[in-house]
Amino acid sequence: MLRIGRAVIRVTDLERAAAFYARAFEFSVLFDREIFPGFRSLHVGPAQVSDPGIWLFPAQTARSDDEPILVLYSNEIDADLERARSAGAELARPLAGDSGARSASIRDPFGNVIVLTEI
């Protein structure tokens, strides 16, 4: 079953954005780590890391064709990827990661990148 995991919001200041969402909506930092050299992944939300939240992206970087707009959580990532591909999605980044924490990116027919993450 797919669940909405993260919406992506571009911000000019990650620290200020995290502070705003904490004050305005009582969101806490769910995940904060450099996942690629020079790329900090900062997620905020109202509950736990496995629940829906927001992925804050630095706006000062150029928007990449591979930048996701949405992250979906999946309990059956292989089946969900196949269903998306059968519906017309293209694989943008192949399935990778350790069992139970794999992810892949697809591009919808309109060019939007969606990340599917195994939960």
Tokens read off for 112 = 């939007």
pLDDT score for 67: 83
Q: pLDDT tens digits for 53-95?
A: 998 988 766 667 788 888 989 999 999 999 999 999 999 999 9
Tell me how far apart the alpha carbons of residues 104 and 98 are, in angstroms, rounded to a whole number: 12
Tell me how far apart the alpha carbons of residues 24 and 33 are, in angstroms, rounded to a whole number: 23
CA 83, 107, 7: angle at the middle one, nearest 5?
Answer: 95
Stretch 107-116: mean pLDDT: 87
Domain with CATH 3.10.180.10 in the chain: 8-60
Task: Select from 46, 34, 73, 42 the least CA-distant residue to 59.
Answer: 42
CB 97 within 8 A of CB 61: no
| Homologous superfamily in CATH for domain 8-60 | 2,3-Dihydroxybiphenyl 1,2-Dioxygenase, domain 1 (3.10.180.10)
- The third-level CATH classification (topology) of the domain covering 64-119 is 3.30.720
Domain with CATH 3.30.720.110 in the chain: 64-119
